[in-house]
Structure 1
C-alpha cells in the first residue's frame, strides 16, 4: 500500500553531492507521487533515474514560480500528490518553493517534509564552531558595498554566522568579512561537501582570506562560509591586543605597534586604534 497521501505537498530533501545521501523514504515518496516539481528538471533527472524514479517532472524555479504555483495547487486540490525538490539539499533554504508552500497551506493543503541533506547544517556539523546558537544568512549581496553594509550589521551578533557563497565571489566575500569582522575572527570554509574534492578549512579570517585568494582550487564548487559570533573570546583577544599595543606604542610607530599587537593577540588591527 502506498504511504503517499493524496492531495499532499511533500517537501523532499535531495543529496547535496553524494548520490547515496538519499533516504529510502525520500526515494519511495518520489516514486509514488503524481508529479515532482523540480528547480531544474535537467539537473534533477539524472539523479532521479539513478535511483529508479521515473515520475513526471515539472519545472518550478524563481522565474516561473508565481505562474506554476496556481497550477500545482489546483492539482493538489484535485487530489493529486505532489513532491517539491530543489537542485540539491532541502527546498526553500536559499532555493525556490516558498510561494508554493505558502499557497498550499493557505488553501488548506497538507504540507509534509521528508528531511535530508542541507549544506548549511552539514557544514555546521563539521566546522568546530559553536552550534548551540546560529543564524543562517543565505547569500550576501553581490556588490561589495552592500555586502560590507550587511556584514557590519552582523558584526556584533554572538551567534555563529552561516553564509552560502558562489565560487566566483568567495574570495571577495572573505576579504570583506576580514575587513569588517577583523583578522582574528574564527572562520571556516566548507567546500564541495560530500563530493570528491571536499575541503573544510578552519583558520582566522586573515589567513583564510589570504589562502583562498591565493589558491584557485578553493574558489571552485559549492561554498559554505561559517564565522564565529562575537563573544567573550573575541572581546578577550581585543583586550589583550590593546594591552600589547599600549606597551609597544611607547617604542614603535602606531602602525607597526598595531601590526605586532594584532599578530600576538589575534585581535583585529583596526580595532586596536579604538577605545
Structure 2
C-alpha cells in the first residue's frame, strides 16, 4: 500500500473485531509508527491481526507535550497512524490537538471512515436522526447543570456518552431538565455479545435500570423538544 499522507486517523472496533475495515488494516501495516491511546489495549488488537509496528503512547495526559515533536517527525517523513482504544480518534478521545497542529504546519492528514458508537445508537433509537446534536460526555461536576439547562429548548435529537456507574443519576438529571415523559433510548455494549438498547420515556428507562448493575459503554439518545 502506498501512503500519500503523513498522519492517518484510523478508527478501531468498538467491540466486535470484525468491524475493522480492510483499508484500516492495510494502513496500520504500512505506517512507520502507531500512536495509541493505551498501548496495552491496542497491542491486543494489533496482535490479533498480526500487525507488528512500533507503538507510541499518545493520550489525554501527554498529548500537549507530544504534539510538536510528533509534528516534527511527520515533517521529516515519518508515516504515522493514530488510534484510540475504540472508535474514531478525536471523537471524545485524543486527536483534535494533533490534527490542528498538522493543519497549522501544512502536514497532510487523512481520516479513515469507520466505527464510532454514537451513530448506531442514534439510528437504533428510533428517534429522528436527520438533525441531531452530539454532546459527548457532559462535565462531571462544574458546569454540568448549566450545560443541561442550555439544552432545555433544543429541538434536535441529543446524543450523550455516559459511564455505567453514573447512568441512573444522569437519567434522573435529564428527567428533571427535559421532563420524565421525554422519549429516549439507552444503548450499551454496542457490537458486543450483550448489546442492548432500551427505549421509552426517561421515567420508564430509569425504572428499568434502577435495580440493575450496569456494565459497558453507554450512549444515551434523547428526543428534542
**Partner residue, 1:75:** 73
What whole-Å deviation, never above 9, does each CA across 1:193-242 have from its counterpart, x for those lacking one? Answer: 001110100010011112112211xx211000000000xxxxxxxxxxxx
What whole-Å deviation, never above 9, does each CA across 1:55-84 have from its counterpart, x for those lacking one? Answer: 111011111001111221111101111101
SS of equivalent residue, structure 1 residue 25? helix
- Selected match of 1:109 from 107, 127, 142: 107
Question: C-alpha distance in 1, partners of 2:2/2:148?
Answer: 45
Matched, 1:228 2:217: no
Which one has a larger percent helix, Structure 1 or Structure 2? 1
Matched, 1:27 2:22: no
Structure 1 unaligned residues grouped into runs of 5+: 231-275
For residues 19-98 of structure 1, the aligned pairs below 5 Å read 19-98=17-96
TM-score (normalised: structure 2): 0.97
**Partner residue, 2:119:** 121
Question: C-alpha distance in 1, partners of 2:107/2:144?
Answer: 38
Contact 1:147 1:176 (8 Å CA) reproduced: no
From the CA coordinates, give the structure whose radius of gyration is larger: 1
SS of equivalent residue, structure 2 residue 71? helix
**Partner residue, 2:13:** 15
Q: Which range is displaced more, 31-40 or 119-128?
A: 119-128
- Selected match of 1:133 from 121, 131, 134: 131
C-alpha deviation, 1:53, in angstroms: 1.1
C-alpha deviation, 1:148, in angstroms: 2.9
**Partner residue, 1:148:** 145
Aligned-CA RMSD value: 1.1
What whole-Å deviation, never above 9, does each CA across 1:21-80 have from its counterpart, x for those lacking one? Answer: 000000000000000111111111101111111111101111100111122111110111
Structure 2 unaligned residues grouped into runs of 5+: none
TM-score (normalised: structure 1): 0.80
For residues 210-221 of structure 1, the aligned pairs below 5 Å read 210-216=207-213, 219-221=214-216
SS of equivalent residue, structure 2 residue 187? strand
Matched, 1:192 2:186: no
SS of equivalent residue, structure 2 residue 17? coil
Moved over 3 A (4+): none
**Number of equivalences:** 225
SS of equivalent residue, structure 1 residue 88? coil
- Selected match of 2:155 from 144, 149, 158: 158
